[in-house]
Each structure stands twice: as structure tokens, then as C-alpha cells.
Amino acid sequence: MTVMKSETKSITREKAKWMYEKMCEIRQFEDKVHEIFSKGVLPGFVHLYAGEEAVAVGICAHLDEKDYITSTHRGHGHCIAKGCDLNGMMAEIYGKATGLCKGKGGSMHIADVEKGMLGANGIVGGGFPLAVGAALTAKLKKTGAVAVCFFGDGANNHGTFHEGINLAAIWKLPVIFVAENNGYGEATPFEYASSCKNIADRAAAYNIPGEIVDGKDVVAVYEAAGRAIIRARNGEGPTLIECKTYRNYGHFEGDAQKYKTAEEKEKHAKELDAISKFRNYVLSKQLVTEKELEEIEGKVIEAVKNAVEFAEQSPFPQAEDLLKDVYVSYE
């Protein structure tokens, strides 16, 4: 394991504003979905990302549309950080025709391939080889793109973890494997399910850098990601970054979360909250003013409110859509 020291790299004022906005969007979006879901309005089930905003935002702050990400069943945050349209996302969760996947995928499968968002995923561990494939395209086509594989601690025991990372390592592919270690795979603690102390420790087995960062600190994530991305774009191969984080809600909406203690929930929601931490950071560094932050917060509330309205007013798909897009060509 290589633990890299955090070098303070200045975040620009504009970047800071973007990061704050995206973190707020994720939080606001997820809180809203939580609220609507509890009313029984939404079909199916949802897995919420609130609490882990710093990871998606800190990583995606380096990416543009040519770069790829693969995601998990807990994918809303990744989508927002990668620039997916809130209206389209919310409409998808509602199962509407205007959704990013035309209502066919739902919460667990939101994707926007044009934006490099290769999909949330219903299969744990599904993302490893998918990110490797996208990186192979980037390498062979020399696009300069990188692929980020977000995965949970639950997935790090899955066979595809080994196969995917090993492949990326031997081919020196531009992949950043980002573990979001929120402490629980479903209801099972990380410590029980994994034989390693840290997921990043496993990087040693593939002879690639493995870095542990505070996943509640968006600046730390941003800096670690920066190093990994430089390495990736330079053709030096993949990096494994483990972000220690926490999910504020349960595994899915409706999970009673008895495996958590009240204290830990309280601590993460208040004292360790990633958004408050970053807010204090930008104010103390005088990157953004209080007024600007409030403007952002207001704008985000409005945007999410609009997204819900958009989703609710959108039509459902038509019957004939059932058999569309099974194939590219039916010839």
C-alpha cells in the first residue's frame, strides 16, 4: 500500500462553487426522494447516496464529458456529479417517458452515456470490468479519457473486483477504482465481510497504488483523485482509492438500520457532515462568500423542486415503447 501525503492543491473559486453546488444538489435530491418515497409515490425501491457526496463530487470535479464513470445501485450521486440532468433523473425515478432512460431503467439503472455516465448498476461488482472496457477504448483510441469505477465496500469481495483490477493493471489502463467504504454492505459490516483492514490494502496484490482518504472531506478526495488521474492519463495505469465514508440512510429506503447505532448516525449527520465541512472550508479560505453559498443553496432547492414537478407532470411511456430498444435493429 502506498499512502500518499495530501498536497494542498488550490481549488479555484469557480471549482469550489461548482463542488458546493453539486454536493448540495445530491443532498437535496436524495432528501427529496426519501420524502417522496415514504409517501408511497415512487415505484420499486431506491438506494440513497446522502452522506457520501464528497466522494462523487471530489472525483468528478476532475472529469469532463469525455471521461467515463461506472456506478452502483446507489448511483444518484454519481449521476449528479457527472452532470446528469436533474429533471431527467427524477423523471426516471418516477418511471416517466421523459426520464433519462425513458422510464425503462428506474433508480437503479440511471445512465447518460453521452455524458460518460455508463449507468448505475443492479449487480454488485458489475462495474469493475465495465470501467476496464471503457478505459480500453480510451487507450486504444487515444482519447485521453479516464474511466472511474465507483464501488461499495460490499463489492470488494466480489470476484469481478479481482479480475477487473488485475486486467487494468496488466494493461496499464487509465482507470481509477474508487471504493466508497461506507461501513456496510447491505446490513453486514465491512469488518465482517472483508478479510482486509482497508480495501486500499488490496492494491498491493495488483502492484498498483492504493490510497486511503477521508471520504467526508471533498478536498482530500479531490486531491487524491487528481494524483490518480494524472497517473492514469500519463499511461501509468490504474489506482485504487478508498474513501472512508458513511451513508446517512439505510441500504434501501425502508431499512430500519438496527445494525447502526444512534450515536454513529448522529455523529455523521452533524459533526462529520461533508457538506458542512466543505462550507466551512470555503468560507475560511475565503473562496466563496456566505451570500454566494446561500444563493447556491436556494438555487438547488428550486432545481430539485422543479425536477419533482417536471417528473410529476411528465407522461408515462406508451404501450408501444415496451418492445422498443430491445435491439438496435430488428432487421
Partner 1 sequence: MTRKISFSQAINEAMKLAMRKDENVILLGEDVAGGAAVDHLQDDEAWGGVMGVTKGLVQEFGRDRVLDTPIAEAGYIGASVTAAATGLRPIAELMFNDFIGSCLDEVMNQAAKLRYMFGGKAKVPLTIRTMHGAGFRAAAQHSQSLYALFTHIPGLKVVVPSTPADAKGLLLSSIFDDDPVIFFEDKTLYNMKGEVEEGFYTIPIGKADIKRKGSDLTIVAIGKQVHTALKAADMLVEKGLETEVIDPRSLSPLDEDTILSSVAKTGRLIVIDEANPRCSVATDISALVADKGFDYLDAPIKMITAPHCPVPFTPVLEDLYLPTPEKVLHAVAEMIGDESFVAV
Q: Which is nearer to partner 1, 89 or 101 (CB)?
A: 101
Q: Environment class of residue 196 by beta-carbon count within 10 Å: exposed (0-12), middle (13-18) or buried (19+)?
A: middle
- Measured in whole angstroms, how far is the alpha carbon of residue 314 from the centre of its chain? 26
Within 10 angstroms of residue 93's Cβ, the number of other Cβ atoms is 28
> Contacts with partner 1 in 214-253 (CB under 8 A)?
none
Specify the 3-state DSSP secondary structure of 205: helix
Which among 170, 166, 198 has a CA at the least distance from the CA of 3?
198
Region from 23-31, 117-125, 135-143, 291-299 binding partner 1, contact rule CB under 8 A: 117-125
Q: Which is nearer to partner 1, 189 or 235 (CB)?
A: 189
Which 118-157 residues touch partner 1, going by CB under 8 A?
A: 121-125, 154-155, 157
Binding-residue pattern over the window 2 to 21 for partner 1, x denoting contact by CB under 8 A: --------------------
Residue 330 in the binding site for partner 1 (CB under 8 A): no
DSSP three-state, residue 278: helix
Grid coordinates standing for 187?
A: 446490513
| Neighbouring C-beta atoms of residue 43, cutoff 10 Å | 13
Which residues make Cβ contacts (< 8 Å) with residue 251, sequence separation at least 6?
47, 184, 186, 187, 257
Figure out which of the listed residues 47, 78, 158, 216 binds partner 1, where binding follows CB under 8 A.
158
String of contacts with partner 1 for each residue 33-72, x by CB under 8 A: ----------xxx---------------------------
The reply to whether 162 sits near partner 1 by the rule CB under 8 A is: no
Task: Rank residues 95 and 116 by Cβ distance to partner 1 and give the closer one.
Answer: 95
Return d(Cα 216, Cα 77) in angstroms, integer. 14
Binder among 207, 261, 276, 313 for partner 1 (CB under 8 A) = 261
Residues near partner 1 (CB under 8 A): 43-45, 95-96, 99, 101, 103-106, 108-109, 121-125, 154-155, 157-160, 185-189, 191-194, 256, 258-259, 261, 316-317, 319, 321-323, 326
